[in-house]
Amino acid sequence: MSTSIVSNPLLDRLPPHLKQYIKPQNYEEYTPINQAVWRYVMRKNVDYLAQVAHESYLDGLKKTGISIDAIPSMYGMNRILQEIGWAAVAVDGFIPPNAFMEFQAYKVLVIASDIRQLENIEYTPAPDIIHEGAGHAPIIASPDYAEYLRRFGEIGAKAISSAHDMDMYEAVRKLSILKEAEGISQEEILKAEQQVTVLQNKKVDPSEIALIRNLHWWTVEYGLIGTVEDPKIYGAGLLSSIGESTWCMTDQVKKLPYSIEAIYQEFDITKPQPQLYVTPDFAYLMKVLEEFANTMAVRKGGWRGLKKLIASKQIGTIELSTGLQVSGVFTRMLQNEDNEVIYFETEGPTALAYREKELIGHGTTRHHNGFRSPLGKLKGINLSIENMGPRDLQAYNFYDGKPISFEFESGITVNGLNVTGMRNLNGKLMLIQFTDCTVRYKNEILFSPKMGAFDMAIGQEILSAFAGAADYLSFKLEEHISTTTTIKPEITQEEKNLLSLYKEVRQIREGNIVSKERLLEIFKKASTQHPNDWLLPLEIYELVYKDDSKLATSVLTHLTTLIKTRPEIAHLIENGIQLLTN
């Protein structure tokens, strides 16, 4: 088994907390049936999508070198994607939304390297290499769309999530795995579906990551482009689904003009979509994305942004008006009557940074028990602390090595020994260190000398709040790795025999030497020992249908019988035969 991970320069610069999601592709684990499923979907898609997909799709297939006949290897994809400034990595199914977005920001496609089972050939709720490799990869060959995808990742990675989002992520991940796996009881699937339903029906205010995920779904995954009357497909979920790519073009699917309102439209990942959004062009996607970004805490900051971080219960960052960035798990804030934040707290490991670089001496080792600080202006002093020069500090008795006592407009008081201060590149004071310090607010002691040295953040307001750490190296970010893993099917002896037949037919086709005698033997075994299998007879028919032979007639008769006895897959067989006649 291969355990190596193919790299390129873009992958080499990924931060450790993203690299932990990457796994080897293990190409040799793809079975001959997996290859046949890929080939059927791709042949069908290319034939149909030539008529209904955005023009950049077919061009992208050529540029990215994705083959119709074989599942792409990560090595080949990375070699070719590098030429258009992108890369690809293999992962195990769904990964947390923020991590997924951050990969995009680094111009890296996340590819679930598993492939759907034959039973789910038209649509799978689980991400797979057909969806990622045949859906996402070709369309990024369009420069406009590729930049949208990168920008989306950059903004989405800063979106603040909630505890509910993580519960929802785990539930959907588990359901998608169970629905794609073989041998799972309906009772177990129903239980997982009920858990997703319970969470979906839970009344919670949607977080930023939930809203931007909706935008991602209705554009990157299920987007249409053009006009409502004459749309084309560009969303990867549609490009990779031979069922939905056809169904979405019918009147049964409602077509709506794309707008910012799409953030409020929820979706069910386990079912085909009842409505889709149409953007006039890729540039309009960027316009709506920026419109949403203007509502996010990363741009608005303030008490609302800090409130979102507190609700998330995950590592986040606030940036103050001095540029000081505080990263940690935020737990508390105090506000004045105008709702301005006058005090905040984190718990556990916390780090201070400036311009995304950790301040020397202010990492999680120093602030391992959290960080807390008042904010705002001093009482009776018009000049804000951050704008005080050395002479101003002396005028207000801020002497290094001297005790000092002062009060904020909020009523918070600080009493301690002034040790030193730290300024930013513009000369603004952004941090003051005290020892033997007590911080009080009304009747509460917010900080006492027994807690150690007191580092007071300087800033009148919170300019920005976002998910994750300012400097990703500040934390050992063993992020939310799911406890659920993709279920590998156990192969029975009967399935092994069928796989060997698929393999032999593939070898015959690739060798360009058709042995009708051997194909006849394979067909007899397939039709008698595996009477419900339809894809292998179809592959055999592809090799002999041009000949007016007894074998071609026998295979076609068998396929016709399957059409009648297995109506649920009749259209798949008919589509396969139609591909040959086309």
If asked whether residues 451 and 577 sit together in one domain, one would say no
Question: How far lies 539's CA from each of 50, 134, 519, in Å?
Answer: 22, 21, 10
Q: What pLDDT does residue 334 have?
A: 97
Q: What gap in Å lies between CA 192 and CA 198, rounded to an integer?
A: 10
Range of the domain at 510: 493-581
Instruction: Tell whether 427 and 360 lie within a shared domain.
Output: yes
Asked if residue 1 has pLDDT above 50, the reply is: no
Instruction: Establish if 486 belongs to a structural domain.
Output: no
Query: Is residue 274 in a domain?
Result: yes
Residue 323 binned pLDDT confidence (cut-offs 50, 70, 90): very high
Residues 240 and 339 in one domain: no
Q: d(Cα 230, Cα 335) in Å, to the nearest integer?
A: 52
The CA distance from 356 to 341, in Å, is: 23
Q: Does residue 570 lie within any of the structural domains? A: yes
Q: 454-457 and 429-441 as β-strands: parallel, antiparallel, unpaired?
A: antiparallel
Q: What is the pLDDT of residue 391?
A: 84
Sign of the CA dihedral 492, 495, 499, 500? positive
Same domain, yes or no, for 338 and 280?
Answer: no
Give the pLDDT of residue 492: 81
* Shared-domain flag, residues 368 and 469: yes
Give domain status of residue 569, yes or no: yes
Pairing of strands 108-112, 372-374: unpaired
Return the amino acid letter for 374: P
Q: Which residues contact 376 (CB under 8 A, 6 or more apart)?
A: 336, 340, 342, 408, 409, 410, 460
Mean of pLDDT values over 174-192? 78
Report whether pLDDT(8) > 80. Answer: no
Which of 74-78, 123-127, 158-162, 166-170 is predicted with the least confidence, judged by mean pLDDT? 123-127
- Judged against a pLDDT cut of 60, whether residue 50 lies above it is answered with yes
Whether residue 329 sits in one domain with residue 280: no
Positions of E strands within 216-290: 224-226, 231-233, 254-257, 275-279
Read off the tokens for 80. 């070719």
Residue 28 placed within a domain: yes
Is 2 a residue whose pLDDT tops 50? no
- CATH number, domain with residue 447: 2.30.30.100
Overall number of domains in the chain: 3
Q: Is residue 319 part of a domain?
A: yes
pLDDT tens digits for 218-236?
999 999 999 999 999 999 8
**Do 468 and 499 belong to one domain?**
no
Q: Which of 442, 474, 506 is the last residue of a domain?
A: 474
Identify each DSSP E strand in 263-394 by its residue range: 275-279, 316-320, 324-335, 341-354, 357-358, 372-374
Looking at the structure, tell me whether residues 460 and 501 fall in a common domain: no
Instruction: Express each pLDDT in 133-155 by its tens digit.
Output: 778 888 888 899 999 999 999 99
Q: How confident is the model at residue 406 (pLDDT cuts 50, 70, 90)?
A: very high
d(Cα 301, Cα 313) in Å, to the nearest integer?
Answer: 17
Q: Give the integer Cα–Cα distance in Å for 86 and 66.
A: 14
Cβ distance 162 to 84 under 8 Å?
no
At residue 112 the predicted structure's pLDDT band, cuts being 50, 70 and 90, is confident
Query: Is 308 contained in some domain?
Result: no
**Whether residue 379 has pLDDT greater than 50:** yes
- Cα 289 to Cα 148: distance, rounded to the nearest angstrom: 9
Query: Residue 387's CB: how many other CB atoms inside 10 A?
Result: 13
Domain C-terminal end among 409, 444, 474? 474
Instruction: Provide the pLDDT confidence category of residue 485 given band limits of 50, 70 and 90.
Output: low
| Cα gap 511→479, rounded to integer Å | 47
| pTM of the model as a whole | 0.84
- Residue 482 placed within a domain: no
Instruction: Indicate whether 470 and 498 sit together in one domain.
Output: no
Residue 29, domain CATH: 1.10.800.10
User: Is there a single domain that holds both residue 274 and residue 358?
Assistant: no
- Whether residue 65 contacts residue 80, with contact meaning beta carbons closer than 8 Å, is answered with yes
* Percent of the chain residues topping a pLDDT of 70: 95
pLDDT bin (cut points 50, 70, 90) of residue 484 is low
Domain's final residue, options 474, 507, 530 = 474
